[in-house]
Amino acid sequence: MRNDTIIFASKILAGGRSFYDCADNPTGECCHGYDPKFTSLPTEWSYPSKYTCEGQDVSPPLAWEGVPNGTKSLALIIDDPDAPDPKAPKTVWVHWVVYNIPPDTKSLPEDAGKARLPQGALVGLNDFRKMAYGGPCPPIGRHRYFHKLYALDITLDLRGATKSQIERAMQGHVLANTELTDTYQKGDR
């Protein structure tokens, strides 16, 4: 039986650097005191169709741990850098933006938009022009989907924000971040 919960890195790294950046940091500061690991996910993980336009198009359950001290809010962005065609990408398509997630939140349930987000969390505008989750629906080929979680030292004073507005507001306020990449191609089950 497959576990459809997406688990982020077990430790979010300090200093706003990702797990893969640590080797590039000559001081080693971003890794000091942390033991970053991904939990047991298949190496070639693909979105279950339930969370796509071919299924129920509901948000997947997401879980994380290791939010650093001093975090005031979390922001989650799910996007696809392969739109419209992975062989000739032209844009990054935004599927879901959730921000001002309380820092003590450890997960979002399946279908979080309808199952209630944590109090204070806000949903931004995706590229489907909706303030909701929009699942993978690639027109051609296998696309990658990046789930990016940011720990911020502020709450964002925005309403109905787009990904680019959130990214601008986050500048200089990212305490830590982590990322998980999944894939999907129409016809996957």
Burial 123-138 (b: 16+ CB within 10 A, else e): bbbbbbeebbbbbbbb
Distance CA 105, CA 34 (A): 20
CB atoms within 10 A of CB 160: 11
Domain boundaries, the chain: 6-38+46-184
**Lowest-pLDDT choice from 12-21, 39-48, 53-62:** 12-21
Instruction: Give the separation between CA 9 and CA 31, rounded to whole angstroms.
Output: 13
The CATH number of 6-38+46-184 is which of 3.90.850.10, 3.40.50.300, 3.40.630.10, 3.90.280.10?
3.90.280.10
Can the peptide bond before residue 81 be classed as cis, meaning omega within 30 degrees of 0? no
Q: Which residue has the higher pLDDT, 136 or 49?
A: 136
**pLDDT at 108 (0 to 100):** 85
Q: pLDDT, tens digit, for every residue of 142-152?
A: 999 988 899 99
Residues 177, 25: Cα–Cα separation, whole Å: 16
Per-residue pLDDT at 19 exceeds 70:
no
Q: Is 178 helix (H, G, I), strand (E, B) or coil?
A: strand
Residue 58: how many other CB atoms lie within 10 Å: 18
